Chain A
Amino acid sequence: MRYHCIIDAYSEDIIRQMEELYAFKTAFLQEAEEGVSYVLCRNRTVVERLGRRISGSAVAIIAEDYSPESVLEALGKETDLEDIYIFGSGICGTELSVRLAARMKGSSVAAVHGLEWKEHVTVKKMVYASHMEGTFRMKKGPYCISLAKGMDRQELEHGTFHIMKEMQCTGLPESVVSRKTTANEAAGGLDEAKVVIAAGRGIRNKENADYLRETAKALGGELGVSRSAAMNAWAPMNRMIGVSGAMLQPDICITAGVSGAAAFYAGIEKSKFIVAINTDGQAPIMKKADVAVADDFVPVVKALRELAER
Chain B
Amino acid sequence: MKILGCFKIVPDLDLIAEEDWIADGQLQVDTSYAKLSWNCFDEGALEMMLKLSDLSEGFDVVYELNALTVGRQRHESFLKTLYALKFEHAVRVEAEEDQDIRFCPEIIAELVAGYIAGTSPQDVVVMGMQSSEGCNMKTPLLLAEALGWPCITEVTALEPVDEGHLKVTSEEDGRTAVQVVGVPCVLAVGNAPSSYLRVPTLKDKMKLGKKPIEHIVPDWEQLLEKEQNVELTELAAVEERRDAVLIEGGTPEEKARELYESYLKGRLEKI
A residues apposed to B, CB below 8 Å: 8, 10-13, 66, 68-69, 90-92, 94-95, 98-99, 101-103, 105-111, 122, 125-140, 173-184, 194-195, 219-220, 227, 230-231, 233, 236-237, 240, 243-245, 251-252, 259, 261-263, 265, 269, 273-275, 281, 284, 286-296, 299-304, 307-308
Contacts and interface: CB of A to CB of B under 8 A. Distances in A.
A150 B62 CA distance: 43
A179 B194 contact: no
B180, B228, B244, B261, most chain A CB atoms within 10 A: B244
Interface in B118-168: 129-130, 132-138, 141-142, 144-146, 150-151, 153-154, 156, 165
Given A128-B133, A244-B191, A262-B13, A139 B230 contact: yes
Given A129-B14, A230-B193, A265-B240, 16 more contacts: A90-B173, A91-B172, A95-B153, A102-B142, A108-B230, A138-B229, A175-B181, A181-B178, A251-B267, A275-B259, A286-B244, A286-B246, A288-B244, A292-B244, A300-B255, A307-B260
Contacts of B264: 252, 275, 304, 308
Contact of B135 (A125, A293, A296): A125
B39 to A, nearest CB: 10
Contacts of B268: 195, 219-220, 252, 308
A287 B242 contact: yes
A135 B135 contact: no
Nearest to B149: A175
Nearest to B185: A175
Given A134-B103, A138-B229, A273-B263, A128 B245 contact: no
Contact of A300 (B156, B174, B246, B256): B256
Contact of A291 (B40, B146, B150, B245): B245
Contacts of B130: 244
Interface stretch (B48-56, B214-222, B231-239): B231-239
Nearest to A141: B229
Given A92-B173, A220-B271, A304-B259, A139 B244 contact: no
A270 to B, nearest CB: 11
21 contacts: A99-B144, A102-B141, A122-B233, A128-B13, A132-B236, A133-B235, A133-B236, A135-B236, A138-B229, A175-B181, A176-B182, A181-B172, A194-B271, A231-B40, A263-B132, A275-B264, A289-B244, A295-B252, A295-B255, A304-B264, A307-B256
Given A138-B230, A269-B240, A290-B243, A110 B256 contact: no
Contacts of A290: 242-245, 263
Contacts of B129: 244
A190 B10 CA distance: 31
A8 B173 CA distance: 9
B265 to A, nearest CB: 8
Nearest to B255: A293
B235 A127 contact: yes
Query: Which of B146, B191, B251 has most A Cβ within 10 Å?
Result: B191
A181 B138 contact: no
A104 B46 CA distance: 32
Contact of B13 (A129, A134, A230): A129
B171 interface: yes
Contacts of B253: 299, 303
Given A91-B153, A109-B230, A261 B14 contact: yes
B14 A262 contact: yes
B246 A292 contact: yes
B73 interface: no
B267 A252 contact: yes
B240 A177 contact: no
A235 to B, nearest CB: 10
B16 interface: yes
Given A178-B180, A275-B264, A183 B234 contact: no
B115 interface: no
A67 to B, nearest CB: 9
Contacts of A284: 14, 18
A234 to B, nearest CB: 11
B230 A288 contact: no
B182 A288 contact: no
Nearest to B177: A181
A273 B245 CA distance: 12
Contacts of A125: 135
Contacts of B74: none
Interface string B160-204: 000001000001111111111110010000111111100000000
Contacts of A134: 103, 232, 234-235
B206 interface: no
A131 B255 contact: no
A82 to B, nearest CB: 15
A254 B86 CA distance: 43
Contacts of B263: 273, 275, 290-291
Q: Which 9 A-B pairs have the closest CB atoms?
A: A303-B256, A299-B252, A135-B234, A107-B229, A11-B173, A102-B145, A90-B173, A110-B137, A98-B141
